[in-house]
C-alpha cells in the first residue's frame, strides 16, 4: 500500500465516524415530547394532572400540576411498567372517570374540588382494603399506582424538591443529629 491509498482509507474511516456520530446525536440523543409522551393523549395527561393536583393541591407550596406530574406519569407508565400494569393503569383511568360520573353526575374534569377530593378519598379507602386482602401475586390497585406516581413525580421534581422540601444544592458536612422543630420541612 502506498501513501495515497493509506490517506484515502483513513479519510473514509474518519468520514464514516463523523457522519455516524452526527446521525447518532441527531436521532439517538434528541429528547422530544413526541418521543416521551405518546403513551397517553393530551386529554388523558390533563386528567392525570388534575388527579395529581387533587392528591397534592397547591397551598403555600406549589401543587402537583405545577410539577407536571401528569407528564411524569405518562413517561413512567410507558417506560417502566409491565404491559399488564399498563393495562391496569389505562383501565383505571377509565374506571376513575366513570366512577366519578356515577357518584357526582359529572366527569372528573367537570367536578369541583370538593367532589374530586371526596371521590378520591373513597377510591383511596377502596385501594387500602384491596391492598390488605390481595396476595403477593395479585396486581396493584390502579389508584395506588396513581398515588405513588404522584408522590414520586412531585417530590423528585425541581419544584417539589426546592419549594416543598428543604433543599441545599451543595450541602456541607453530614450531621445526623439535627434538632427538629415541629413544622420543619423534610430534606430533599
Contact 39, 51 (CB under 8 A): no
Q: Tell me how far apart the alpha carbons of residues 55 and 160 are, in angstroms, rounded to a whole number.
A: 14
- Same domain as 63, residue 20: no
Measured CA to CA, the distance from residue 51 to residue 64 in angstroms comes to 9
- Residue 174 maps to a domain: no
Q: Are residues 64 and 127 in the same domain?
A: yes
20 within a domain of the structure (yes/no)? yes
One domain, residues 122 and 139: yes
Write the pLDDT tens digit of every residue in 21-45: 555 555 555 554 444 446 889 999 9
Does residue 84 form part of some domain?
yes
Q: In the prediction, which pLDDT does 35 show? A: 45
- Summarize the confidence of residues 118-125 as an average pLDDT: 94
**Integer Cα distance of 99 and 58 in angstroms:** 25
88 plus 1 within the same structural domain: no
Q: Are residues 16 and 45 in the same domain?
A: no
Task: Tell me what pLDDT residue 24 has.
Answer: 55
Is residue 85 located within the same domain as residue 97?
yes
Same domain? For 69 and 37 the reply is yes
pLDDT, average across residues 116-131: 94
Give how many domains the chain has, as a whole number. Answer: 2
Return the pLDDT at 37: 47
Residues 4 and 19 in one domain: yes
Is the Cβ–Cβ distance between 150 and 69 less than 8 Å? Answer: yes
Q: Could you list the residue range(s) of the whole structural domain that residue 21 is in?
A: 1-30
Of residues 44, 121, 31, 117, the one with CA closest to residue 77: 44
| Residues 136 and 61 grouped into a single domain | yes
Shared domain for 25 and 39, answered yes or no, is no
Separation between Cα atoms, residue 76 and residue 182, nearest integer Å? 34
Asked whether residue 181 is assigned to any structural domain, the reply reads no
Separation in Å, CA 81 to CA 18, 45, 146, 149, 158: 37, 17, 12, 11, 23
pTM: 0.73
Is residue 95 assigned to a domain? yes
Amino acid at each position: 500500500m502506498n501513501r495515497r491509498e493509506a490517506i484515502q482509507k483513513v479519510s473514509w474511516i474518519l468520514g464514516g465516524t463523523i457522519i455516524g456520530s452526527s446521525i447518532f446525536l441527531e436521532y439517538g440523543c434528541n429528547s422530544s415530547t413526541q418521543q416521551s409522551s405518546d403513551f397517553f393523549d393530551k386529554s388523558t395527561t390533563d386528567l392525570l394532572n388534575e388527579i395529581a393536583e387533587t392528591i397534592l393541591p397547591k397551598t403555600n407550596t406549589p401543587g402537583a400540576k405545577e410539577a407536571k406530574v401528569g407528564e411524569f406519569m405518562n413517561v413512567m407508565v410507558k417506560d417502566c411498567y409491565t404491559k399488564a400494569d399498563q393495562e391496569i393503569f389505562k383501565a383505571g383511568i377509565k374506571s376513575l372517570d366513570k366512577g366519578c360520573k356515577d357518584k357526582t353526575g359529572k366527569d372528573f374534569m367537570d367536578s369541583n374540588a370538593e367532589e374530586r377530593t371526596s371521590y378520591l378519598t373513597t377510591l383511596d379507602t377502596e385501594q387500602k382494603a384491596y391492598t390488605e386482602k390481595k396476595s403477593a401475586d395479585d396486581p396493584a390497585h390502579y389508584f395506588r399506582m396513581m398515588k405513588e406516581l404522584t408522590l414520586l413525580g412531585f417530590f423528585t421534581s425541581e419544584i417539589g424538591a426546592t419549594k416543598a422540601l428543604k433543599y441545599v444544592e451543595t450541602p456541607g458536612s453530614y450531621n445526623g443529629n439535627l434538632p427538629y422543630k415541629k413544622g420543619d420541612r423534610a430534606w430533599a
